[in-house]
Amino acid sequence: MPQQDDFPNRAIVGWSESDMLPLESTWQGILITGSPQGGKSSCSGKQIAHGLLKVPETGGLVLTAKAEETQNWIRYAKECGREKDLVVFNAESGHCFDFLHYEWTRPGRGAGDLESIIDFFSTLVSLGRKDAGQSHDPFWERGNEQLMRNVIKLLDLAGERISISNIDRVIKSLPTRPDEYEEEAWQKNSYCAQLIASIRARQDTLTPDQWSDLDFATQYIFRKWPAFDERPRSSLEMTWSGMADKFLFNPFNRLFCSGKCSFTPEMTTHEGKIVICDFPMLEYGHETGRTINVALKLTFQRAWLRRKLADSPNPVFLWQDEMQYFVTRRDNFFQQTCRGSRVAVVCLTQNILNLAEELGEAQPGSKTKSFLGNLGIKIFHQQNDTETCNYAADQIGRTYRYLDNFNAGSSGDNHSHASVGGSRQLAHIVEPIEFTRLLKPDSRNPYAQAIVYQSGKAFNATKTAQNPAGNNYLSVLFSRNEE
Ligand SMILES: Nc1ncnc2c1ncn2[C@@H]1O[C@H](COP(=O)(O)OP(=O)(O)OP(=O)(O)O)[C@@H](O)[C@H]1O
Ligand SMILES: [Mg+2]
C-alpha cells in the first residue's frame, strides 16, 4: 500500500536545473499549445507523459484523435516499464465497456441515479450540435431530458436492463397519434406497450413511489408525446438517434451495450491501470470516434470525482491530445472540482481558436477563457495564431515600462523641432510576437522551445540579484529524445 505522501513531490519534468514540475502541480491542469509541428506531442507532451508514467502508482485514461496516439503510448509505457499496466481498448481487443450499465450499477452512492444518466446522455447528445444552433435551446435540452427520463423510468419499473438499445426500442415504439395507445395494433406490437402491460401485471408489488412514477410516465407516453407537433417530435427522436444509432450495430453494440465491463475506471485509481481508448477519430469517423472517446471520458471523470483518497490515494491523468474534439460542457465543472481528486488533466491543442470554435464561440470569449483559466500550467510553443499569441502574452502579464517616444513636427515658422523621450506605459512583459519566434523541431533538430507559465510560481532560474523575485514565465527547451 503506497504511503499517502509518497508521490506529490515527485518530479514529472525539469523546467530548468533549479525548477521542476512536481506531480502535485500537474493536478492544476496542463495546457500545451503551439502551431502544427511545433513539438507539442513529440517533445513537451512526450516528456510529461514519461514523467507521469514513471510514478508507478499512476493510472490514466488516454483519448485518441490521431491514429498514432496508441502506438506512441504503447512505446512510452514500454520505455517507462509500465507495459503490464496498459489496457488497450479497441474493436479487436476483446474488451468491452457498457458505460450505461456501469453508471447504473456502479459501486458507491448515487448508482442507478436517473438524473445522472440523463445528464450523461444530454452531454453526449450536445456534442457537435453547436452548428445546429440548438445546443443551448432549452426546448431541445428539456425535451430530450424529459424523453429520456420517462423512457428510462419505464424500463426500470419493468425490470428491463437500462441499455442504449432498450431505450431506443422504447422511443421507436412510442404512440405517435393521440388515442393510438388504445388501439389493439399498438398494444400488441409495441415494445413500450408490452412494458406497460408487464408493470401493470405486477401492480401488487409496486410501492406507492413506483405507482406514482408509472402514472407520470404513462401520462407522458399516452398524452404528451403524441400531442407534440410532428416536427419537434421527430426532431427530438433524431437528436437521440443521432447519438445512439452508432451503438446499435456491431462492433459497437457488442463493445458498448453488452451489459458488461471488462475494465472499470476504478482500475485506474486502485490498480494503476492506463486505459487507452483506441478509437481514433481519424479511423472511426469524426462523430463516432468522438462520441466513444467522450463517453469514456465522462464515465472516468465521474468515477474520479467520486473516489475517496483514503481508499486509494493514487494519482491519475486524463490525456487529451487534440483536446478541442473532446471538450464538453461539463469540463469546466470537472476542472474546478477535480483538484482534490488527484487528477492531472493534460490538454494539447494548436491554438485557442480551435477550442473556441468547439465551445460555440466565433472568437475566444468567456467560455474559452474560463476553460483555459482552469488550467494552471501553460506551455506555449511556437505560435502562428495572433489570438493565441495575445492570450499567452496577457497570461504572463503587463508591467510599467519606459517606452521610447519620438516627436517631430514643424511649428510653421521654419522652426521645426524633434524630441526624443520616454514615457511610463503598461506593456506586455513578453510581447505577443515573441511566441512566433520560438524554435520548432524538425527532422534534425530534436528540440522544441516553449515559454512555460505556472500559476503562482516564480521560476528559480530567473531569479537574479537585480530581480530577486524572479519571473512567472520561463523559456524551456523540450527534447523529443530521452534526457
Ligand atoms: N522521431 C522523430 N524523428 C524525426 N522527426 C520527428 C520525430 N518526431 C517528431 N518529429 C518531427 O518534429 C516535429 C514536431 O512534431 P509533433 O508531432 O510533436 O508536432 P505537434 O506540435 O504535436 O503538431 P500537431 O499539431 O500537428 O500535432 C515535426 O516536424 C515532426 O515531423
Ligand atoms: Mg501533435
Q: Which residue minimizes the CA distance to atom 19 of ligand 1?
A: 37
Whether 131 shows a pLDDT value over 70: the answer reads no
| Ligand 2 centre distance from Cα of residue 466 (Å) | 39
Q: Please, what is the average pLDDT of the chain? A: 91
Check residues 139 and 324 and name the one with the higher pLDDT. 324
> What is the rounded distance in angstroms from the CA atom of residue 241 to the CA atom of residue 183?
26
**Rounded alpha-carbon distances, angstroms, from residue 383 to 80, 143, 324:** 31, 42, 17
Per the omega criterion (within 30 degrees of 0), is the bond before 8 cis? no
pLDDT in tens, 167-197: 999 999 999 999 999 999 999 999 999 999 9
> What is the rounded distance in angstroms from the CA atom of residue 256 to the CA atom of residue 164?
9
Confidence of residue 124 (pLDDT cuts 50, 70, 90): confident
Which CATH fold topology does 11-95+262-479 show? Rossmann fold (3.40.50)
Question: Ligand 1: which of 480, 481, 482 to mutate, judged by most atoms within 8 Å of the beta carbon?
Answer: 480
Provide the pLDDT for residue 374: 94
Whether 23 shows a pLDDT value over 60: the answer reads yes
> What is the rounded distance in angstroms from the CA atom of residue 82 to the CA atom of residue 85?
5
Question: Ligand 1: which of 33, 35, 41, 42 to mutate, judged by most atoms within 8 Å of the beta carbon?
Answer: 42
Q: Please give the model's pTM, rounded to 2 decimal places.
A: 0.91
| Ligand 1 centre distance from Cα of residue 442 (Å) | 7
pLDDT in tens, 112-122: 788 888 889 88
Q: Domain-by-domain residue ranges, the chain?
A: 11-95+262-479, 99-247
**Rounded alpha-carbon distances, angstroms, from residue 95 to 64, 90, 275, 339:** 17, 7, 11, 30
Torsion of CA 380, 386, 388, 389, to 10 degrees: 40
pLDDT in tens, 301-341: 999 999 888 888 899 999 999 999 999 988 988 988 887 89
Confidence of residue 416 (pLDDT cuts 50, 70, 90): low
| Ligand 2 centre distance from Cα of residue 38 (Å) | 8
pLDDT in tens, 54-66: 999 999 999 999 9
DSSP label at residue 327: -
| Rounded mean pLDDT, 285-291 | 90
pLDDT in tens, 370-380: 999 999 999 99
